[in-house]
C-alpha cells in the first residue's frame, strides 16, 4: 500500500502524457499552486461529475491562483474522448503504469461495495508554489468535492 502524503511533504515529481500526448510535468507549474486530483476512470459517472465540476469552477480557481490537473490510469486516447465528449477544460493526464498514483498515495487498497479491492483512491493533493503539499485529501466523494474544496480554501 502506498504511503499517503502529509502537509509539508515535497510533492512527487511527475511527467505524464495529456489527452493529446503532450508531456505535462508538475515542474512546468513551479511557482503556481496546483490542485492535482486523482480519479479512477474517464467516462464513468462519478469521474465525469467531478471533472465537470472542476471545469465549471476553473475560472474561479484560476482567479485564486490555482491550476488543476486530473490524473487517472487512462491512456491519452481515452482522455481525449473524455475531454471532447464532456467539453472539459481541465488538464487531464494519464498514468497507465500507476507510478504517479502510487507516489501520491492514490493507489492501493480501498473498500468498494463492502469488498476490499486494489485500485485508484479518489484523492486530491494541493501543491503550493514551492512544490510542497499544502493539503492531501483521500477517499473524497466525486459529487460535491469541488464545492467543498472551494469552501475549505476560502475562495
- φ, ψ of residue 53 in degrees (nearest 5): -60, -45
Q: Which residue has the cell 474544496?
A: 149
| Nearest of 26, 11, 6, 40 to residue 136 by alpha carbon | 6
- Measured in whole angstroms, the distance separating CA 2 from the mean position of its chain's CA atoms is 16
Catalytic one among 5, 26, 47, 149? 47
Contact 121, 110 (CB under 8 A): yes
- Per the annotation, the verdict on 52 as an active-site residue is no
Contact 10, 131 (CB under 8 A): yes
Active-site residues: which are they? 47
Amino acid at each position: 500500500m502506498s504511503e499517503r502524503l502529509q502537509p509539508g511533504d515535497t510533492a512527487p515529481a511527475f511527467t505524464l502524457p495529456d489527452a493529446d500526448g503532450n508531456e505535462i510535468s508538475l515542474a512546468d507549474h513551479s511557482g503556481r499552486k496546483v490542485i492535482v486530483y486523482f480519479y479512477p476512470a474517464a467516462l464513468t459517472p462519478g469521474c465525469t461529475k467531478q471533472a465537470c465540476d472542476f471545469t465549471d469552477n476553473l475560472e474561479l480557481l484560476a482567479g485564486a491562483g490555482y491550476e488543476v490537473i486530473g490524473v487517472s490510469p487512462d491512456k491519452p486516447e481515452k482522455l481525449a474522448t473524455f475531454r471532447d465528449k464532456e467539453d472539459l477544460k481541465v488538464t487531464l493526464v494519464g498514468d497507465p503504469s500507476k507510478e504517479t498514483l502510487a507516489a501520491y498515495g492514490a493507489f492501493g487498497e480501498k473498500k468498494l461495495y463492502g469488498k476490499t479491492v486494489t485500485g485508484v483512491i479518489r484523492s486530491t493533493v494541493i501543491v503550493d508554489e514551492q512544490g510542497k503539499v499544502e493539503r492531501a485529501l483521500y477517499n473524497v466523494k466525486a459529487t460535491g468535492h469541488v464545492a467543498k474544496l472551494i469552501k475549505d480554501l476560502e475562495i
